[in-house]
Amino acid sequence: MNHTRIRQATEMPGFVLRFPSLFDDGRGYAFPCDAHGEVDLQALSPRARDNYLAARSAVGRDFGVPAIVGGERWH
């Protein structure tokens, strides 16, 4: 595993992966990711990891297709 990549993803998130809610405009989830939309699950807290896995499994049912967004703070 590349520790430099983990440090960059957690300290300086340049991209977020956004899962928009299909039912409540302006709501959803956002997780730090790399430019390819890959989320480092080990860098997430247990709660964030659970939310990420739940959002990913509910795409099309509760959440829209996730989008990679750059240059925004994710927290």
Tell me the mean pLDDT per 10 residues along the chain, length 75. 46 82 93 95 97 97 96 54
**50 contacts 39 by C-beta, under 8 angstroms:** no
Q: Give the total number of structural domains in the chain.
A: 1
Q: Domain for residue 75, yes or no?
A: no
Measured distance CA(34)–CA(5) in Å, rounded: 9
Residue 10 lies in a domain: yes
Q: What is the pLDDT of residue 48?
A: 97
pLDDT at residue 50, rounded to an integer: 97
Structural domain of residue 17, as residue ranges?
Answer: 3-70
Residue 66 located in a structural domain = yes
| pLDDT value of residue 26 | 84
